[in-house]
Structure 1
Amino acid sequence: MASRSSTSTPSSGDGRGDDPVGGTLVGVALGLVVVAAVVGALRRRRRPRAFALPSSVVAQVREAQADRLEQEARSGLLVLGDAIRTHDLDPGDDSQAWQAALDHYDAAARVLDTGGSDLGVLDAVGAVVLVRRGRAALDAATAGKPYRPVAGCYLNPLHGPPTRKRTRLVQDGHTGDVPLCPACRADLKAGRAPDALRVDRGGKAVLYVDSGVEPWASTAYGALGGDLVGALHRLR
């Protein structure tokens, strides 16, 4: 009687069997890494970039320029006054905008009159801003539209209108979103010193918002919102 031969189960060549649990754990770990990378990328995309304001800015509006700015403000005030006097309030005009034009005219005249022959550069800039806003209010009134002040460039109110998107600015340890004109925003993005409005205080050039001269410092000449004319009456 022939003997029955025994059969053996073949084994893998390296002596180890497949490990389905280990493979699953590796797959889960890789998946978590991918998810974490995606979430991190989304967070970086959503977080606005903050720009540090250089401590020293070469381009400055100095006290020596106060005379030129004062002349610009006085000339603009004369033109605005003539435009107000020669225009009669029509039924189609916006009365609120008309009153805003008068208020800004009076405020600019007050700044120029109280400054006298020793008008500082920050007051001269303030008068220019008030005259420009008064002109904008008068244009809105004659067009039959309400007047809404447009915030100026935070770093220099003499610049053009700001971009639609605000810029996150780091200054002296404080961070805030402020309106900047395209030129200042481009300078900061390129690592260049922007043409900021700085004045001399004790032999040191400081940004006007740190000058303590009101109402310009706390309102940023209206760039931070609020009623600039009202602030002038409250703080002067």
Structure 2
Amino acid sequence: MNDQQLLRYARHILLDELGIEGQEQFLAARVLVVGAGGLGSPAALYLATAGVGSITLADDDNVELSNLQRQILHVEASVGRPKAESGRDTLAAYNPETQVNARVERLEGVVLGEAVAAADVILDCTDNFATRHAINRACVQHRKPLVSGAAIRFDGQISVYDLRHDDAPCYHCLFPEADDVEEVNCATTGVFAPLVGIIGAMQAAEALKLLAGVGESLSGRLLWLDVRTMQWRSVNVSRDPECAVCGHREHSVAAA
């Protein structure tokens, strides 16, 4: 690190658990953030300001006025712009050293797999089950750690699926994919603005912990927050040996 970086990241370097070595791991890291909305905004901001070297920010949507209530990557002048590009510019203003790759597209199929394979940690900041399950399948295939968050109304949840470990559950273990799942989203049910900030910031924290190997991640646990009462619940999550996605993880990885 140069003198400017030593000064910028001094408060991280002072932490015994991180130090210079941990900060250098951040600087060398590649993180994929899927979704530049309510969750992706605070998550990407904290990753960039923490010094993550490379962030891929993927979102195929444009900024709308109704987004500004909670999506803090964007300002009123961003309305009409692609969220990924607006987010890239905001992150550059906070930390020009972080390289941000704006992907104005919905990552799917081979393209999604390639983006996951190229990252050290993946953050799912999306708002629909189909995309969540697609990201999970790619993370299982490439044995990449996934930090998944969700927020709706006054309720939030977050977990880590550290698919580098054989005994870790995947997203499908906890939320099996089904055709009859009712989709809910902020556009139809609303969301309390600070809630996405809380969950998104926690996603960034979990991602940074994974990158530096610090502390204990949320792998194997799901946290639920009811922000009306500020009550947290923690649920232990085990791997489903019959899971259709990761049940034969070792065999699929060996064959890949």
Q: By the TM > 0.5 criterion, same fold?
A: no
The structure richer in helix per residue is 1
The structure richer in strand per residue is 2
**TM-score, L = length of structure 1:** 0.21
**TM-score, L = length of structure 2:** 0.20
